Amino acid sequence: MSETLLALENIGKTYNTGSFSVEVLKGLTFDIKQGEFIALMGASGSGKSTLMNILGCLDVPTVGTYLLDGKNVSHANDEELADIRNEKIGFIFQTFNLLAKYTALDNVALPLIYAGKDKTERIQRATAVLEKVGLGDRMHHKPNELSGGQRQRVAIARALVNNPAILLADEPTGNLDSTTTLEILDLFDELHQAGNTIIMVTHEEEVGERAEKIIRMKDGKII
């Protein structure tokens, strides 16, 4: 049996705005094991984005316990959350979030600067992950010289470069055409088979079906 990588127990999130309070997440309890490929699905307003922010240590729950890799991160402060994100989580966004002035290699190496790695190691590791995602011949190109699919591959390589415990992908195919979507999903399959733990937020059924398990949300609850 794979070991549990993250576990949520009775997670709730309430936002207070003036005299109003809105309960966005309501008593979520589930766990994800090392090496699983999970799709997180739900309509707009279901709470999946709020849940992803908590899973990605961009926010903390109002109530409940979140254990990530055995550590309770439910009440971590901003500095602790930033350290956890750098060490444990690789983010992949719908909009790629690449820096236009930098080459693919420089974009991928960026997280290693924050991790305190020297230049030689940064170049070696960034080169290796770009080759892994099939962009060994495009690493000196800037984002505007790459197709949408290639840009998303750069973003995936950047997410991988720190060897994170979790790859967290937010609508990773949302800006791609159907052919490129299939290529990126095939890449996710390869990463999953290589042992990566992947949590993918999507509202597209055919994308969600590529995962081995779907967590469906409605009105802040898992259905």
Amino acid at 185: L
pLDDT given at position 11: 97
For 147-171, write each residue's pLDDT tens digit: 999 999 999 999 999 989 999 999 9
Residue 16, pLDDT > 70, answer yes
Provide the CB-side half-sphere exposure for 66 (13 A, CA).
25
**DSSP secondary structure code for residue 220 in this structure:** T
Q: What pLDDT is stored for residue 36 in this prediction? A: 96
Distance CA 100, CA 108 (A): 12
Taking 70 as the threshold, does the pLDDT of residue 111 lie above it? yes
**pTM attached to this predicted model:** 0.91
pLDDT of residue 193: 93
Tell me what percent of the residues of the chain surpass a pLDDT of 70: 100
Question: What value does the mean pLDDT of the chain take?
Answer: 93
Kindly tell me if the per-residue pLDDT of 187 is higher than 80: yes
DSSP 101: T
Residue range 95-103: average pLDDT? 92
- Pairwise CA distance, residues 212 & 200, whole Å: 11
Write the pLDDT tens digit of every residue in 28-80: 999 999 999 999 999 888 999 899 999 999 999 999 999 999 999 999 999 99
Look at residue 203 in the predicted model and tell me its pLDDT: 87
Beta bridge partners of 22: 15
- Say which CATH topology domain 4-215 has: Rossmann fold (3.40.50)
Domain limits, the chain: 4-215
Question: What angle (nearest 5°) sits at the alpha carbon of residue 42, between those of residues 36 and 46?
Answer: 120
pLDDT of residue 114: 82
Does residue 1 have a pLDDT over 70? no
pLDDT confidence of residue 86: 87
Residue 190 CA: distances (Å) to CA of 35, 79, 211:
12, 33, 12
Supply the pLDDT for residue 10: 97
Whole-angstrom distance, CA of residue 38 vs CA of residue 30:
12
